[in-house]
Amino acid sequence: MLKRLFRHSKGEGNDCSKLCCTKIENFTVKVGKLTIFEDVNLHVHCGQLTAVIGPNGAGKSTLLRAILGEISHTGTLKYADAKGKHTGKPIIGYVPQYLKFDVSAPITVLDLFSACRSHRPIWLMPSNIRDEVEESLKRVKAANLIDRRLGALSGGELQRVLLALALNPMPDILLLDEPVSGVDQNGLEIFYNILEDLQNNEDMAIILISHDLNMVARHADQVVLMNKGVVCSGTPEEVFHDSRTRRIFGMLTEGGANHGGTGFVWVEHKKKKHQQGCGCPDCAEAEGDEE
């Protein structure tokens, strides 16, 4: 718990001058006459994990692509870092939700990295960045995948490989669009552990679209509920207790006995001060902290 509190105080302090600070102001995206979302404001600091949640069609993925500059939008992105290194023009890393590709393609993970990171023609010469790629993959617990064919990766493995690619070069802002399905619980756990490592050891702000409210409740510092605009934002506790969140995710709050699935289970659970021996990950974490 201590680490968690520390992270929060670091993130939530209003002293923007000492941290790298990203302000997204009045972002609006319109396609023709259709408004995808409007007046989105986000304030994110380095070391913070901001989770964006919301129903399908809320404009979450579009928001990330607007931040990337892939989609035309109104509003401004202001970025300043403490040392003024990339002020105004942050390096942005992006992990897309899905990578649709031909699974029969004869392309290895090393091929993908070399093609993205090197100008040396990979069909002709041996890769000159193998060590570098191995190092990047180690960070996402995927070093053993370096010679694997892309089509032979599981959903979770592909997500980690794409994350490693997004961390190269190390970004100031990392945008993650989590797949709705295709990543198993174990893969999800590894993924969030990697994010925690990045939060603690790198100078970057992470904005994550997630569909797993349970994971959001446990790992996010800031939660933004989006539905064609920001509905509410704050700490996970604040947002998950907000009546608007309950209305949007209403149907998910039923049947609270089940531990999997929603963040509400977790919030409810906290109030009961953790029943003895229920064995859920939150309990294990809380017990560990008390020692």
Residue of 32, 123, 243, 279 that binds another protein (CB under 8 A): 123
Q: Is 6 in the site for another protein (CB under 8 A)?
A: no
The alpha carbon of residue 282 and the mean position of all alpha carbons in its chain are separated, in whole angstroms, by 20
Q: Is 96 in the site for another protein (CB under 8 A)?
A: yes
Whichever of 118 and 235 has its CB closer to Zn ion, that residue is 235
Q: For the window 134-163, what string marks contact with another protein as x by the rule CB under 8 A?
A: -------------xxxx-x-----------
For tokens 């004869």, what's the residue?
106
Residue 95 pairs with which residues in a beta bridge? Answer: 176
Stretch that binds Zn ion, among 20-28, 146-154, 177-185, 197-205 (CB under 5 A): 20-28
Helix, strand, or coil (residue 265): helix
Task: Provide, rounded to whole angstroms, the least separation between the CB of residue 115 and another protein.
Answer: 4
Strand order in the sheet with 21-31: 34-45, 21-31, 74-80
The token pair at 133 is 């790629």
Whichever of 77 and 220 has its CB closer to another protein, that residue is 77
Q: Is 8 in the site for Zn ion (CB under 5 A)?
A: yes
Q: For the window 213-252, what string marks contact with Zn ion as x by the rule CB under 5 A?
A: ----------------------x-----------------
Select the binding partner of residue 68 from another protein, Zn ion, none (C-beta < 5 to 8 A, by kind). Answer: another protein
Q: Phi-psi bin for 99: left (phi > 0), alpha (psi -120 to 50), beta?
A: beta
Residue of 106, 250, 260, 279 that binds another protein (CB under 8 A): 106
Residues 6+ apart with CB under 8 A from 172: 20, 22, 46, 79, 81, 86, 90, 91, 92, 203, 204, 205
* Residues 245-284 close enough to bind Zn ion by CB under 5 A: 278, 280, 283
Whichever of 16 and 82 has its CB closer to Zn ion, that residue is 16
Pairing of the two strands 74-80 and 230-234: unpaired
For tokens 């349970």, what's the residue?
214
